Structure 1
Amino acid sequence: MITRRDFNLSLMSLSAGMMLAPLARGATAQKTQRSDSMIAIDCHAHVFLQSLPMPDRRRAPAGYDATPEAYLHALDANQMTHGVLVQPSFLGLDNSYMLDVLRAHPDRLRGIAVVAPGVTAQQLDEMQQAGVVGIRLNLIGLPTPDFDSPDWRALLKQIRLRNWQVEVHQVAAELKPVLEPLLAAGVNVVIDHFGRPSATLGVDDPGFQYLLSLGPSRQVWVKLSAAYRNGPGGRGEATALAAMPLLMRQFGVERLLWGSDWPHTLFESTVQYGAQKQQLERLLPLESERNIVLHDTPARLFHFANR
């Protein structure tokens, strides 16, 4: 009888010996087919090529490609079966490369797109057919959108009708004006990177305390991802460890997700996928709870069971 451990070890051995050609933009790639049972889902990663237009270069990395082949290899090497690609903010509204990748790997990958209010239902349909299950608002350093405008109301209605999510990346101090109108619109909301509490205040950040108050709404999920973005020199992980009992108490384990944040843009030289996976074991020592975070919750939220 083949155990799950034996299967994972053989899969890692196979992937380590394979070198896959990069996916050219617009190319038709052979679709990956997976017959194994779903074990673990990485809910936050990015793919891009340095040759792609980058209208927002504030956070853009330089000097390398983050190809889907490299990402899938990282998944295999770390016993992860599926992943969620998030459109990088520096690529702006052109989701075409991510959509190409999703179409090439429909069994393993889902996507979170970046769109502008005014996007048409037909455009959203095309994204959904490719595997998109939500939109992202990366609002770091940007003003809060006018969610009361007709275009935003129409977009949020589409998000709600499709059972998509709105993924929010914003510092904790600025979360309230973003989340209140989203929750009032009835959409599911996913918060990136522990809610980005202040590096100095940690869990005492009033914005993080506000986030905790939203647990009973059952509309909000929190990603246990990229703790290193919440403070230097180990401070981010210390905040993450302090946050865990609070998040568990207010949200419950079933409203928590995990993401690698691969390829760790702007932290490429100091952060590794395997170390992030090991950190999850420190945050959630019980395997039963990790299974909920890695499989049960994301399988439903990112619609892996619907395709």
Structure 2
Amino acid sequence: MADKPAFQMDADWLPFHPNPSKPAYVPPPGAVDAHCHVFGPGDVFPYAPERKYTPCDAPKEKLWALRDYLGFSRNVIVQATCHGADNRAVVDALQASGGRARGVATVRRSVTDEELQALDAAGVRGVRFNFVKRLVDALPRDELLEIAQRIKPLGWHIVIYFEAQELPELYDFFTSLPTVVVVDHMGRPDVTKPVDGPEFALFTKLMREHTNFWSKVSCPERLSKLGPPAYGDVVPFARHIVESFPDRVLWGTDWPHPNMKTHMPDDGHLVDVIPQIAPTAALQQKLLVDNPLRLYWPEEVR
């Protein structure tokens, strides 16, 4: 009898696309997928007891294969909530990447200076604060501020994940953070509302008035009501951010697309959205190469 898997993925979990299409768009040399994940394998890197979902395994080897197939050169691997504050899967991927990956970790107040130094040596360059209630129980703000102060001397940044309706309540806390702050997926705007409406205007104000804020213009598959392949209702929001703040934007696949409930995106289609949101070669160069290098590989920037 075969051994039972260490972890059984959720019954409604959608595994990542097994055969994504080859994108028509060819990224510029050195392009970075600046938001992706690794999951497990669960029998090697166990999922956290407090997790709110159990995914399919999505190991580093699959991520490297996708990177090469889509025409990218590097990855930024973001710690997933299913692993809690156990960053071993991310660190393992970073150490196996040959310098072609950097990471964003999750840490708690109890993390030691030695552990932070070890994460830094492995290639971690930031920490993630998650405020999406269905995914994680948010830490107290005093703990988050303490973590922020401790990672600042390392030159790390903070990644924040929240939903648009939560921004008014979180705005003052976010602007008190002492580092570069990268917002996941444009703060998840409601794309049925106007680009120039009050909800997205608040996010635009955050970016305009606080120049330490960056945005990932990623995850149209999570935001769109129209759906694939073009995700046309998301394009005006992402293009507005790219054109307004060209030096502070990043892009990523979000592979392996955790917690998708309606469809599993074709990563080739996601890449083909890039020239719609960054319509010139100069904007594409900033979005995919110059900006992520400045943030994650600053030692290579002259």
TM surpasses 0.5: yes
Alpha-carbon spacing, 1:56–1:273, altered in 2? closer, same or farther (3 Å):
farther
1:260 corresponds to 2:275: no
> Given the alignment, which residue of 158, 169, 175 partners 1:183?
175
Which range moves more in the overlay, 290-299 or 239-248?
Answer: 239-248
Instruction: Note the C-alpha offset of 1:291.
Output: 0.9
Matched ranges for 1:117-156 at <5 A:
117-141=109-133, 145-147=139-141, 149=142, 151-156=143-148
Is the 1:134–1:167 Cα contact (8 Å) retained in structure 2? Answer: yes
- The answer (yes or no) to whether the contact 1:214–1:220 under 8 Å persists in 2 is yes
- Once residues 233 and 58 of structure 1 are traced to their aligned partners in structure 2, the CA distance between those partners, rounded to angstroms, is 28
CA shift, 1:246, in A, is 3.0
Match of 1:31 in 2: none
Task: Assess if the C-alpha contact under 8 Å between 1:87 and 1:112 holds in 2.
Answer: yes
> How far is 1:144 from its partner?
5.6
User: In 2, Cα distance between the equivalents of 1:245 and 1:66?
Assistant: 30
Q: Structure 1 residues 202, 98: CA separation in 2 closer, same or farther (over 3 Å shift)?
A: farther
- Offset of residue 280 of structure 1: 0.9
Q: Judging changes above 3 Å, is the alpha-carbon distance between structure 1 residues 195 and 182 closer, same or farther for their aligned structure 2 residues?
A: closer
Deviations 1:261-300 (A, max 9, x none): 0111233953122111111122112122111100000001
Q: Which moved more, 1:203-212 or 1:288-297?
A: 203-212
Aligned pair partner of 2:211 in 196, 214, 218: 218
What is the correspondence of 1:49-88 to structure 2 with a 5 Å cutoff? 49-51=41-43, 52-61=46-55, 64-88=56-80
- Counterparts of 1:1-307 in structure 2, within 5 Å, are 39-48=30-39, 49-51=41-43, 52-61=46-55, 64-141=56-133, 145-147=139-141, 149=142, 151-201=143-193, 203=195, 206-216=198-208, 217-234=210-227, 237-248=231-242, 250=244, 252-267=245-260, 270-303=264-297, 305=299
Query: 1:127–1:306: structure 2 CA closer, same or farther, 3 Å change rule?
Result: farther
C-alpha contact (below 8 Å) 1:169/1:195 kept by paired residues: yes
How has the CA–CA distance of structure 1 residues 133 and 200 changed in structure 2, closer, same or farther, with 3 Å as cutoff? same
Deviates more, 1:282-291 or 1:128-137: 282-291
Q: Deviations over 1:52-99 (max 9, x none)?
A: 2233443432xx321111111111111100000011111111111211
Deviation digits for residues 232-280 of structure 1 (CA, Å, limit 9, x no counterpart): 3329933421213432454x21111100001112339531221111111
| Structure with more helix by fraction | 1
TM-score normalised according to structure 1 size: 0.78
Structure 2: stretches of 5+ with no match in the other structure: 1-27
Q: CA deviation at 1:202?
A: 5.6
Q: Normalized against structure 2, the TM-score is what?
A: 0.79
More deviation, 102-111/297-306: 297-306
Q: Distance in 1 between matches of 2:259 and 2:60?
A: 19
Instruction: State the Cα distance separating 1:163 from its structure 2 match.
Output: 1.8
| Greater RCO (CA < 8 Å, at least 6 residues apart) | 2
What SS class does the counterpart of residue 73 from structure 1 fall into?
helix
What secondary structure, in the 3-state scheme, does the structure 1 residue paired with 2:254 have? coil
Distance in 1 of aligned mates of 2:57 and 2:243: 40
Structure 1 residue 146: Cα displacement = 3.4
Which stretch of the first structure deviates more once superposed, 187-196 or 112-121?
112-121
Alignment partner of 1:237: what SS?
Answer: coil
Report if aligned partners of 2:48, 2:84 keep a CA contact under 8 Å in 1: yes
Give unmatched runs, 5+ long, in structure 1.
1-36
Q: Does the 8 Å contact 1:135/1:165 carry over to 2?
A: yes
Instruction: Check whether the contact 2:236–2:277 (CA below 8 A) recurs between aligned residues.
Output: no
SS at match of 1:84: strand
Question: SS of 1:253's equivalent?
Answer: coil
